[in-house]
A and B are shown apart, each in its own frame.
Chain A
Amino acid sequence: MFNQTKKLLATVAVLMVGTASWAQDYPTKTVNVVVTYSAGGTTDILTRILVEELSEELGQPFVVENRPGGGTVIGTASVVQAPADGYTLVVAAPAFTVNPSLRKSLPFSYSDDLVPVARFAATPYFVIANAELEADDLTGLVELAKADPGAINYASAGVNGATHLTGELFNLLAGVELTHVPYNGTGPAVLDLVRGDVQVMFVGLPATQQHIDEGTLKVLAVISSTPVAGYENIPTSSESGLGRFEAEAWFGIMAPAGTPSDVVQTLSAAIEARISTDAFKARLENLGAIESFLGPEAFGEFLSAEETKWREVIEAAGIEAQ
Chain B
Amino acid sequence: MELFTVGFPVAFSFDNLLYCFVGVFLGTMLGALPGIGALAAISMLLPITFYLEPTTGIVMLAGVYYGAEYGGSTASILLNLPGTPSNAVTCLDGYPMAQNGRAGVALFTTTIASFVGGVVGILMLLLLTPFIVGVALAFGSAEYFSVMVLGLIAASTISQGSAIKGLSMVALGVLLSTVGADVNTGIERYSFGFLELINGINIIILAMGLFGVSEIISSANALHRNKLTANVSLASMIPSREEVRRSAVPMLRGSAVGCVFGPLPGTGPSLAAFLSYALEKRVSSRPEAFGRGAIEGIASPEAANNAAVQTAFIPALSLGIPGTATIAVMIGALMAHGISPGPRMVSDHPDLFWGLIASFWIGNVMLLVLNIPFIGLWVRILTIPYHYLYPAILTLICVGAYSINNNAFDVFLVLVIGAFGHVMRLLRFEPAPLIVGFILGSLLEEHFRRALLLGRGDFMVFMERPISAVFLGLATIMVAWIVGSSIRSARRSTLARRLQQRTGDENKSPLKKEET
List the interface of chain A (C-beta within 8 A of B): 38-42, 44-45, 48, 65-71, 73-74, 102, 153, 158-160, 179, 181-184, 187-188, 191-192, 194-195, 197-198, 206-207, 209-211, 213-214, 283, 286-287, 319-320, 322
Contact = CB atoms under 8 A, between A and B. Distances in A.
Contact of B137 (A65, A194, A206): A194
- Which range holds the interface residue count of chain B? 35 or more
Secondary structure of the A contact surface, majority rule: mixed
B344 A213 contact: yes
27 contacts: A39-B43, A39-B47, A39-B332, A40-B332, A40-B335, A40-B336, A45-B336, A67-B406, A69-B198, A69-B405, A70-B199, A71-B181, A71-B195, A74-B405, A102-B186, A160-B186, A181-B450, A181-B453, A181-B454, A182-B183, A184-B183, A191-B136, A192-B141, A197-B454, A207-B340, A210-B340, A210-B343
A69 B343 contact: no
Contacts of A66: 405-406
Contact of B195 (A41, A74, A192, A213): A74
Q: Which of A66, A71, A187, A211 has the most CB of B within 10 A?
A: A187
Given A159-B181, A191-B137, A179 B199 contact: no
Contact of A70 (B195, B320, B406): B195
B136 A65 contact: no
Contacts of B265: 188
Interface in B131-188: 136-137, 140-141, 181-188
Contacts of B450: 181-183
Interface of B: 43, 46-47, 50, 136-137, 140-141, 181-188, 195-196, 198-199, 265, 319-322, 328-329, 331-333, 335-336, 338, 340, 342-344, 405-407, 446, 450, 453-454
Cβ-closest 9 pairs across A and B = A40-B332, A286-B338, A70-B195, A159-B186, A210-B342, A160-B186, A210-B344, A187-B321, A45-B336
Given A159-B184, A192-B140, A74 B321 contact: no
Given A48-B50, A74-B196, 13 more contacts: A40-B336, A65-B406, A67-B405, A67-B407, A69-B195, A102-B186, A181-B450, A181-B453, A184-B446, A191-B319, A211-B343, A320-B187, A322-B188
B493 to A, nearest CB: 45
Contacts of A319: 186
A95 to B, nearest CB: 12
Contacts of B322: 187
B363 to A, nearest CB: 22
B218 to A, nearest CB: 30
Contacts of B453: 179, 181
Contact of A187 (B47, B196, B198, B320): B320
A39 B342 CA distance: 20
Contacts of B340: 206-207, 209-210
A227 to B, nearest CB: 25
A160 B198 CA distance: 13
Contact of B183 (A65, A159, A195, A211): A159
A69 B136 contact: no
A158 B332 CA distance: 18
Contacts of A187: 319-322
